Each structure stands twice: as structure tokens, then as C-alpha cells.
Amino acid sequence: KTIENNDDSDHSEANDKVTFDSNGQFSDDLVEKPSLLDFLRNHISPFSGTGDAYKWFIQLDSTFSDLKLSFRDRIEILPYFLGGGAMIWYSLNRQKIIDYHDFCQLFTLEFLNVKSPPDSHRSSQLTNSFSHISPSVILGKNSMDNSMDQLLDTTTSFIP
């Protein structure tokens, strides 16, 4: 809460505001020191949906981590660092972004051109990124009929 002093005495503007902390105690620290949001704004540029999303995200997350911000605080601060297309995306996905983890996943999918991680039902259908040969060729033609435990068995030989 802020109470402004409206008298005409010769006080600086900073001294004209009286603040109270969350416990209702008088505090002039908030007036003289920049807020966390001001500090972050000086260190993190807003992301508009274009530009280097990876660099922006690493800077944002590193700064949050350096300041030891809780995930709850991070999710509350995030909208202040989004603009343009990124803010529209965030607004449209707000219902899906319950916590910071959700934001990280959805942001990655939208702006970092990373495909969603495979679920256990599709893992046997993925291709080998080095040889571009389907897993059924590598593990044998009957491997698709095997259980996931057998597919993950490291003692099974494969054809190079």
C-alpha cells in the first residue's frame, strides 16, 4: 500500500510516499530501492515471438535461477516479459499454463521448433536419427510384436 503525502513541504518525491510491507509495517525500503520487476526489466528484454527464442529463454531462466525465484513467482512475472505475438500466444494458452513447467514445455514447442517428446506408445515407431532406419529393421522384423521390456533389453543384438 502507498500513501502519498500531499503537503507542500520541501521533501523529495521519494520521501512523499509511505509504504507498508506485507505485515503492515512501515517501510521506506521499497521507495528507495528498485523493485524486483524493475531489476528484471533492466536485465531481460521482452520476447515478442520473433528473434532468438532460445537465447531469450536461457537468459530469463538463468536470471530467475540466480535470484532463486520460486516457480510460482516465475509464472507470475512471466507475462511482463512477453509482447507482440508471444503475448498473444500466452493469452491463448493461459488455461494450459498452470505452472512454470507447463510454460517451459509449451514455450519450447511453440518457439524453439522442438517436437514433442515421444510417448511410450509411439517410441517403437521412431526412426534412428543416425541411420534413418526404422527400429523394426534394427531390432529385427518381429520386434514390433515384442513388449517394451524386451525392446529396451540392452542384451538384444541388433544389425548395424
The pTM of the full predicted model, rounded to 2 decimals, is 0.51
pLDDT tens, 60-102?
999 999 999 999 999 999 999 999 999 999 999 999 999 999 9
Q: Strand order of the sheet with strand 17-20? A: 2-4, 17-20, 26-27
Per-residue buried b or exposed e for 32-54, using 16+ beta carbons within 10 Å of the residue's own CB: eeeeeeeebeeebeebebeeebe
| Residue 80 CB neighbours (<10 A) | 12
Q: Mean pLDDT, to the nearest integer, of 148-152?
A: 40
pLDDT tens, 102-132?
999 999 999 997 665 555 434 333 334 343 4
Cβ atoms 64, 80 nearer than 8 A:
no
CA–CA gap between residue 159 and residue 91 (Å, rounded)? 49
Q: Where are the domains of the chain?
A: 2-32, 36-111, 119-160
Using alpha carbons, select from 76, 77, 71 the residue that is nearest to residue 100. 71
pLDDT tens, 10-60?
444 444 444 444 555 444 444 455 688 999 999 899 999 999 999 999 999
